[in-house]
Amino acid sequence: MKAMEGIMFAVNKNKPILGKIQITGTVHCLTGLHIGKAQDDWQIGGLDSPVVRDPMTYEPYIPGSSFRGKLRAIFERVENGKDPEKFQFNRYSGQEVYRHECTDPSCKVCRLFGATKGTEKEKQNIPSRLMVRDLRLKNRDELETIDTGLQYTELKFENALDRVTAAANPRQIERVPAGAQFGLDMTYTVETEDQEQTTEDLQNLLMLLKLVQDDAIGGHGARGYGKIEITDLTLEARQLAYYQATVEKAEEKKHFVKLLPISLKEKIEVEALKSLIQFIHGENP
């Protein structure tokens, strides 16, 4: 056990930055989307469930934590289905939330999304390789022309019926309407010389982006909310030299960048991903 702890400590101590891979694209809402926010006050005639908005622009957005959390949840279920005994869901801090976290650096999920299972004394956290930023609204002008009585959003009335008394419980849910577009912006840090491992991480990430399109983002997915499509997906590999280039040598930066357009509707060629990773390591396949 102590030997394993030593290995864990060594793994977490060595976290170089060999390069970055930017993942960008457009998330299209095919159905209404609801990601709610906490209500500080209640008003007569007000919304029962408002969406989260940017306090500066008042535009709705998809929090990076929500999108990232959905990808991780899907990945955990995929891995649990492969080996339920080995890949288990844990519960921490007495919270009634089951998820998987471990201190195994070879775990595909924790390697990509990180883990904080270790205690303060053990310090066995695994930093995430994937960063997901807030998804910002891209077609603001188009949504401004929609007459819904709300800014950029719509109001959906729903009604829950008591199965015994038939009493109605109407509610109002604010949604981002179908047709809204958000910018996907993620960064993967290349931190290992193991190119096969990095290739596997990217394959898993692209698999999750495919799966989430047949799942749902936000709340009320079982009632049809939150169906999305991802287009214009691009992987941009940036060598470390890209960040070290001076302003005077800005023109040289293009020599340290390699683009790979991806269509989630088509088969993703593994060799293309490997070529991107080899570029990060300064190789010319």
Predicted local confidence at residue 45, as pLDDT: 46
Model-level pTM?
0.86
Residue 245 lies in a domain: yes
Predicted local confidence at residue 83, as pLDDT: 79
pLDDT tier at 272, thresholds 50, 70, 90? very high
Residue 155 lies in a domain: no
Residue 162 lies in a domain: no
Residue 23 lies in a domain: yes
Q: 164 or 263: whose pLDDT is higher?
A: 263
Predicted local confidence at residue 283, as pLDDT: 82
- For residues 207 and 214, what is the distance between their CA atoms, to the nearest angstrom? 11
Cα torsion for 35, 40, 45, 47, to the nearest 10°? 0
Q: Is the pLDDT confidence value at 6 over 70?
A: no
Question: Would you tell me how many other CB atoms lie within 10 Å of the CB of residue 223?
Answer: 14
Mean pLDDT confidence for 247-276:
88
Mean pLDDT confidence for 124-137:
93
Out of 122-136, 161-175, 189-203, 267-281, least confident range: 161-175
Predicted local confidence at residue 84, as pLDDT: 76
Question: Would you tell me how many other CB atoms lie within 10 Å of the CB of residue 183?
Answer: 17
Residues 75, 21, 265: CA angle, nearest 5 degrees: 55
Residue 63 lies in a domain: yes
Q: 55 or 123: whose pLDDT is higher?
A: 55
Q: Is 112 left (phi over 0), alpha (psi -120 to 50) or beta?
A: alpha
Out of 105-114, 161-170, 193-202, least confident range: 161-170
Q: Is the pLDDT confidence value at 192 over 70?
A: yes
Residues 211, 168 contacting (CB under 8 angstroms)? no
Structural domains in the chain (count)? 1
Domain of 111, in residue numbers: 12-142+177-280
Residue 167 lies in a domain: no
pLDDT tier at 98, thresholds 50, 70, 90? confident
Q: Is the pLDDT confidence value at 20 over 90?
A: yes
Predicted local confidence at residue 126, as pLDDT: 85
Residue 159 lies in a domain: no
Out of 25-29, 88-92, 154-158, 244-248, least confident range: 88-92
End-to-end CA distance of the chain: 41
Residue 217 lies in a domain: yes
State the chain's mean pLDDT as an integer: 86
